[in-house]
Amino acid sequence: MRVFLYSILCSVLFTTVLCPTADSEVRSGQYDVIVVGAGSGGTAAAVQAARCGASVALVDETGWIGGQITAAAVSTMDDVGHNRSGLYLEFIRRIRESYGATGTDVNICYWGNDTIATEPKVAEEILLDILRGSAPGKVDLFLHRTPEAVLTEENRVTGIILKDGDSGTIMLKGKVTIEATECGDLLPMTPARYRAGNSLSTNLDMDAEIQDITWVAVIKSEDSIPEELRVKRPDGYDRDVGRFRKVVTTDGATWPGQAPFDFASYKAYRALPDRDNPHRIEGGESETWPYITRTCVNWANDVPANGPDHVGLTVRYLEDKDYRRLVNGEAIGRTLRFIHYVQTELGLSNWTVDRSQGYGKRGDRIRDRALYLDESNDAVLNHFPPIPYVRESRRIVGIETMTAKTVARDRRLGRAVENRTNSIALGEYPLDIHGSRVPGSLESDLGESMADYPGEWRSDEGVFQVPYGALIPETMDGLLAAEKNISVSRLVNGATRLQPITILTGQAAGAIAALSALSDRDPRDLPVISVQDVLLRGKSALSLYSFFDVQPDHPHWRGVQGATLYGYFDPMTPVIFGTSLPVEERQMSYMISRAFYVRDLEGGDFFVSRSDFVKRLKKTAPRWEPSSMEWDGPPEELISRGEAVTAVWDAMVQSVPLR
């Protein structure tokens, strides 16, 4: 199947996604950027780095790209709706276009109308297509490859060694390596410090707690199913059936009532599109839920799921590969037991594992990642995703560690309390820990305790910023983090582990890595504003402000983002920037003073022409090239607020050249 994937990647003319012709021919390679982990963050990092002109090696242990979205089947986007920008916005637009072509609804999950769901296989097709178009750089894809070692020179990561078959190895050399695995498995191979649970790698506590995992399965209703897809009563069924009955029963309530719920409500939680379904599905209309024909099993099957007041999953899962296989086996078993429960006690014998997603056809054997001895249901297990949904990874100790204070938000304003000018991505999800929340399980050295955990789950808190330093190790050069392993506390990990923000932090890591490699400057030494400009050109929002009159496709969106991020020009209202209004001389003086930390005359209240504005800005920022900007009109006419803030942003960026 690996060869088949490679052939797909190579089949499009002028593709930028390249591949080795045969495993035995590839023994070494030199790249600008190496991305280990082709999950949501790693794939985004590879795309952005290639769009910056870098050569990229993208590595994954499975035969899939997309990670938690595809290989783990968490393909209902955990999206509250306030942070749709950058590569994430590009991705969900492509989802809508793909299903829209056949009139298939995607807003069918989470009991809401403004939601986004996709099949794992469709998500991967879209991600592969985005990779193919990631010119001017190139991406070489190495699937079914597991890192064996990290190459270092003094205090710098210089590459990795991959296992190649049973006996061979591949050496990849790179200027920057991005750790984007699902569990942070590359980190222990480096000298960089990391957190696991509430302990540090210098003094790991194997019994420290992490969030529960889930082995998700995609299930579907069919007119008739073969006998081998009827789940035979699995071992441990009697132990789990009680927990299933607490979630869903034949006579359960309709959401948002009290558990247990009926199966229609269960389906609607993680519902997935089905092009063969003739019925219209609307996530916010309960009368359409009975017609859902495809969904994910990602409720009632967490492991260990001992509840918030009891000890749950521990760091041993991350650090001990044999123990990980044991826990994975239990997670597989619990999901299998739930499907049996659906087919028998719920009486839905026409529901079984979905055979159309392509699982089990790419050389990914779940038995390689899980200790599961029951062979009576192998026909069903062959269609399970190859990896579990891992919520909490190892996390680097970065230049800056995000804590609950970093993401504290004002619900009235719909944004974080504190603006961070070194923002490289936005998040929006609430603090949400699956599993144990016993006292003492958070990082006391970061000043956090369970008293900081929110008393209720709320989706209306608004956006927060991810600072630049959260992706960069405290001392190690040539290494960046993406995915769930950025520098955050356990509590904040509950808000940064979801698909939208992992894609956006991955995009940021790709921009940092490419600029670092192409300019021969360490990531920690890059001008942050240079990275931010790349991200803003990639339509990734960085400012806490969002305006009705300035959407990401607006020609002056980048300048407005810069103005509100750095505070050099104020909007008309919290939701209207007023880009088309003219600029007064005193406003010009204020803007230039704030942006460049210079003292300027206050000026008058008469309006300024484009030519006068250019002369004044050029005096302060002589490196700025006015011709690099697309003006809205001739020089003698009045300059607009939108033009002014964009010109100032360009001047700020050009004042700190990379070389």
- Per-residue pLDDT of 412-445, as tens digits, reads 888 999 999 999 999 999 999 999 999 999 999 9
- Position 600 scores a pLDDT of 66
Give the confidence band of 657 by pLDDT, cuts at 50, 70, 90.
confident
- Per-residue pLDDT of 199-236, as tens digits, reads 999 999 999 999 999 999 999 999 999 999 999 999 99
- Position 18 scores a pLDDT of 37
Residue 208 lies in a domain: no
- For 426-458, the DSSP string reads EE-PPP---S---TT-S-GGGT--GGGS-SS--
| Residue 308 and residue 401 in one domain | no
SS3 annotation, 65-114: CEHHHCCCCCCECCCCCCCCCHHHHHHHHHHHHHHHCCCCCCCCCCCCCC
Residue 231's contacts (CB-CB under 8 Å, 6 or more residues apart) are 336, 339, 340, 343, 352, 377, 380
- Per-residue pLDDT of 540-573, as tens digits, reads 999 999 999 999 999 999 999 999 999 999 999 9
Residue 290 lies in a domain: yes
| Residue 484 and residue 579 in one domain | no
Residue 57 to residues 16, 202, 283, 478, 598, Cα–Cα distance (Å): 12, 30, 39, 15, 44
- Position 24 scores a pLDDT of 39
- DSSP letter at 302 equals E
What CATH number should be reported for the domain holding residue 187? 3.50.50.60
Residue 50 lies in a domain: yes
Judged by average pLDDT, the poorest of 143-147, 167-171, 253-257 is 167-171
Mean predicted confidence (pLDDT) in 100-119? 97
Residue 184 reports pLDDT greater than 80? yes
Distance CA 646, CA 561 (A): 9
**198 with 441: CB under 8 angstroms?**
yes
- Name the domain boundary from 342, 372, 390: 390
Residue 85 reports pLDDT greater than 80? yes
Residue 258 lies in a domain: yes
Mean predicted confidence (pLDDT) in 2-10? 35
**560 with 547: CB under 8 angstroms?**
yes
Place of tokens 């699995």: 234
Mean predicted confidence (pLDDT) in 164-193? 94
- Position 509 scores a pLDDT of 98
Mean predicted confidence (pLDDT) in 351-362? 95
- Name the domain boundary from 509, 544, 579: 544
Find the helix or strand (DSSP H, E) in which 495 lies: helix 490-496
Instruction: Return contacts of 235-239, CB within 8 angstroms, 24+ apart.
Output: 235/333, 235/374, 236/333, 236/334, 236/337, 237/337, 237/340, 237/341
- Position 451 scores a pLDDT of 92
Distance CA 391, CA 389 (A): 6
Distance CA 631, CA 435 (A): 54
**34 with 59: CB under 8 angstroms?**
yes
Buried b / exposed e over 361-377, threshold 16 CB at 10 Å, is: ebebebeebbebeeeeb
Q: Which two tokens stand for residue 312?
A: 């749950």
What angle, 0 to 180 degrees and rounded to 10, lies between the N-to-C axes of helices 528-537 and 557-566?
150
**159 with 172: CB under 8 angstroms?**
yes
| Residue 310 and residue 382 in one domain | yes
- Per-residue pLDDT of 459-496, as tens digits, reads 889 999 999 999 999 999 999 999 999 999 999 999 99
- Position 164 scores a pLDDT of 83
Residue 108 lies in a domain: no
- Position 599 scores a pLDDT of 83
Buried b / exposed e over 474-483, threshold 16 CB at 10 Å, is: eebbbbbbbb
What are the φ/ψ torsions at residue 547 (nearest 5 degrees)?
-120, 140
Distance CA 338, CA 299 (A): 10
- Position 167 scores a pLDDT of 72
Distance CA 123, CA 494 (A): 23
Residue 357 reports pLDDT greater than 90? yes
CA geometry: angle at 172 spanning 170 and 175, to 5°? 170
Give the confidence band of 604 by pLDDT, cuts at 50, 70, 90.
confident
Find the helix or strand (DSSP H, E) in which 166 lies: none
Query: Based on the structure, what is the number of domains in the chain?
Result: 3
Residue 112 lies in a domain: no
Residue 452 lies in a domain: yes
| Residue 262 and residue 347 in one domain | yes
Give the confidence band of 12 by pLDDT, cuts at 50, 70, 90.
very low
Judged by average pLDDT, the poorest of 23-32, 97-106, 127-136, 625-634 is 23-32
- Position 9 scores a pLDDT of 37
- Name the domain boundary from 544, 574, 591: 544
Buried b / exposed e over 386-403, threshold 16 CB at 10 Å, is: bbbbbbbbbbbbbbbbbb
Residue 503 reports pLDDT greater than 70? yes
3-state secondary structure of 172: strand
Q: Identify the CA nearest to 129 among candidates 195, 220, 32, 47.
A: 47
Give the confidence band of 601 by pLDDT, cuts at 50, 70, 90.
low
By CB atoms closer than 10 A (0-12, 13-18, 19+), residue 347 is exposed
- Position 15 scores a pLDDT of 31
Residue 52's contacts (CB-CB under 8 Å, 6 or more residues apart) are 137, 510, 511, 514, 515, 518, 534
Chain mean pLDDT for the chain: 93
| Residue 346 and residue 276 in one domain | yes
- Position 1 scores a pLDDT of 36
| Residue 150 and residue 221 in one domain | no
Q: Identify the CA nearest to 367 among candidates 382, 389, 352.
A: 382
Q: Identify the CA nearest to 142 among candidates 118, 168, 175.
A: 168
| Residue 561 and residue 426 in one domain | no
- Position 658 scores a pLDDT of 80
| Residue 127 and residue 242 in one domain | no
Q: State which residues form the domain around 638.
A: 557-654
What angle, 0 to 180 degrees and rounded to 10, lies between the N-to-C axes of helices 557-566 and 585-596?
70
Judged by average pLDDT, the poorest of 9-18, 20-29, 33-42, 320-329 is 9-18
Distance CA 544, CA 571 (A): 12
Distance CA 148, CA 169 (A): 9
Distance CA 160, CA 483 (A): 19
Characterize the bridge pairing of strands 28-36 and 55-59: parallel
Place of tokens 């037991």: 337
- Position 8 scores a pLDDT of 34
| Residue 240 and residue 382 in one domain | yes
Residue 342 reports pLDDT greater than 70? yes
| Residue 62 and residue 152 in one domain | yes
Residue 90 lies in a domain: no
Residue 16 reports pLDDT greater than 50? no
| Residue 360 and residue 423 in one domain | no
Residue 179 reports pLDDT greater than 50? yes
CB atoms inside a 10 Å sphere around CB 242: 8
| Residue 644 and residue 630 in one domain | yes
Residue 20 reports pLDDT greater than 80? no
- Per-residue pLDDT of 616-642, as tens digits, reads 999 999 999 999 999 999 999 999 999
